[in-house]
Amino acid sequence: MFRMSLLFLLLFTMPPFLAGQTTISLSSSGAEPKNGAQSAQGNASAPATASVPRADRPAATLITLDQAIQLALTNSPTIKAARTQIQQNHAQEITANLRPNPTLSADTQFIPIFSGDFSTDTLNNLQQFDVGLGYLFERGRKRQNRLQAARDTTAVTAAQVADTERTLTFNVAQQFINVLLANSTLQFALEDLNSFQSTVNISDERYRAGDISEGDNLKIKLQLLQFQTDVSSARVAKVQALGSLRQLVGYVSLPHDYDCAGDLEYKALAVALADLQVKALAERPDLKAARLGIKSANSQISLANANAKVDVNASASFSHVSGVSSTSLFFGVPLPIFDRGQGEKARTRFALTQAEFTEKAAEDTVMTDVTNAYEAAASNQDVVKLYVSGYLKQAQDSRDISQYAYKGGAATLLDFLDAERSYRSVQLAYRQALAAYMLSLEQLRQATGVRNLP
């Protein structure tokens, strides 16, 4: 009767449903956890925040999410390799803008090698000397079209590199959230171990006083093994998460004992789907690359038409034959009877059609990505609200009541252990729900193509 009355009182005074925009953080402060029922009651008064030590020892270097993303964009070998493609394209622009080189020619004929007569009269009257200079005159503005096509290709490459950076940014944010989840799980495991240790101590006292049997006392001690295992598993998960993040950021850019600054937190999503879709259509780099691909395809068509124009070979030469000097002019033009660039013109037209379909497919992908990410974020937000609106407090109240009643001899060991398992399960699920919600927001940022959601 005492237990039911106390539970009814706690549930009846439960706080109302969360409304508007509320931040729910799992603090990374270094405050020591409280023992036993005192810790549980302190947390019950503030279900939105759990303040426990981040780890066993402080890290020498703490980085925020923004710093991690900036380090990755600066130091990632993958991004550095992708950016060299832009530099390569700039070099191709230089090549495309070059004019043809002039041609210098020279020859001499009727050299008296066998007669051995290299007199002035022989050189002047018998030998022939020719010196010429030729140049290819391009028609159809070929150089200008080559340069424009190269610039458009560079623009497409730059957009593709930006899309690679967008993917890397999401991967870093995803792994950063995994580190925060590992930190939060480790904090909770340490707090729970500390709290349950006080229960073990009280059970030992009750056993020595004859209030409980040796079997019940051993069951309590065996249950402590699960808490210790949870702490070990949480430590391993944190080390692995930090290692994966360090690989993305750049292994040598961070010290071995670094850690992530920040908390698992909930901030309400207050933006309409239509606004995000409009933003994504304007900002997504892969869609920009597809649109620039159409411009590049048009440049290739112009270049193909220019290349179909015949060029003029012109040269001038100076000749000295039999004591007479003369000048000659030469002009050469290929006759476009068979090859008029028909194949290349047709290919570039089909390439333009391909680019247009690619843009349409990219637009569909953007709209789908934004819709899916938005719905996932909204669904995860609803789950987090369910926990905050009452389930967290109910699980903690149930654990606190069972713990208080068990310590006072008013509840069985089975009731207390069941309430403890339920509390741990709800707390871990809550942290996972927070991490899933934060990850869905990162997916929404990736789908939109911007870090700051409108």
- The 3-class secondary structure across the chain, one letter per residue, is CHHHHHHHHHHHCCCCCCCCCCCCCCCCCCCCCCCHHHHHHHHHCCCCCCCCCCCCCCCCEEECHHHHHHHHHHHCHHHHHHHHHHHHHHHHHHHHCCCCCCEEEEEEECCCCCCCCCCHHHHHHCCEEEEEEEEEECCCCHHHHHHHHHHHHHHHHHHHHHHHHHHHHHHHHHHHHHHHHHHHHHHHHHHHHHHHHHHHHHHHHHHHHCCCCHHHHHHHHHHHHHHHHHHHHHHHHHHHHHHHHHHHHCHHHCCCCEEECCCCCCCCCCCCHHHHHHHHHHHCHHHHHHHHHHHHHHHHHHHHHHHCCCCEEEEEEEEEECCEEEEEEEEECCCCCCCCCHHHHHHHHHHHHHHHHHHHHHHHHHHHHHHHHHHHHHHHHHHHHHHHHHHHHHHHHHHHHHHHHHHCCCCCHHHHHHHHHHHHHHHHHHHHHHHHHHHHHHHHHHHHCCCCCC
CB 187 within 8 A of CB 26: yes
Q: How confident is the model at residue 320 (pLDDT cuts 50, 70, 90)?
A: confident
Q: Does the pLDDT of residue 47 top 80, yes or no?
A: no
Sign for the CA dihedral angle at 37, 38, 39, 40 comes to: positive
Higher pLDDT, 49 or 397: 397
Weakest-pLDDT range from 32-46, 158-172, 248-262, 326-340 = 32-46
Higher pLDDT, 255 or 122: 255
- Angle at which helices 285-307 and 273-283 pack, to 10 degrees? 30
Weakest-pLDDT range from 107-116, 274-283, 401-410, 430-439 = 401-410
Q: How confident is the model at residue 122 (pLDDT cuts 50, 70, 90)?
A: confident
Mean pLDDT score, 212-237: 86
- The pTM is what? 0.77
Weakest-pLDDT range from 178-192, 220-234, 398-412 = 398-412
Mean pLDDT score, 55-78: 83
Report d(CA 66, CA 442) in Å as an integer: 13
Mean pLDDT score, 411-438: 84
Q: How confident is the model at residue 211 (pLDDT cuts 50, 70, 90)?
A: confident
Partners of 295 in the beta sheet?
Answer: none
The mean pLDDT value of the chain amounts to: 83
Q: Does the pLDDT of residue 250 top 60, yes or no?
A: yes
**Angle (nearest 5°) at CA 440 between 424 and 280:** 170
Domains of the chain: 2-448 (1.20.1600.10)
Q: Does the pLDDT of residue 217 top 90, yes or no?
A: no
Q: How confident is the model at residue 413 (pLDDT cuts 50, 70, 90)?
A: low
Q: Does the pLDDT of residue 374 top 90, yes or no?
A: yes
Q: Does the pLDDT of residue 325 top 60, yes or no?
A: yes
pLDDT at 312: 95
Q: Does the pLDDT of residue 128 top 70, yes or no?
A: yes
pLDDT at 6: 34
Report d(CA 291, CA 367) in Å as an integer: 15
Higher pLDDT, 164 or 201: 164
Q: Does the pLDDT of residue 45 top 50, yes or no?
A: no
Q: Does the pLDDT of residue 188 top 80, yes or no?
A: yes
Weakest-pLDDT range from 62-76, 102-116, 134-148 = 102-116
Q: How confident is the model at residue 115 (pLDDT cuts 50, 70, 90)?
A: confident
**Angle (nearest 5°) at CA 108 between 105 and 114:** 150
pLDDT at 3: 37
Q: Does the pLDDT of residue 166 top 70, yes or no?
A: yes
pLDDT at 20: 39
- Angle at which helices 392-407 and 413-448 pack, to 10 degrees? 160
pLDDT at 332: 93
Higher pLDDT, 418 or 265: 265
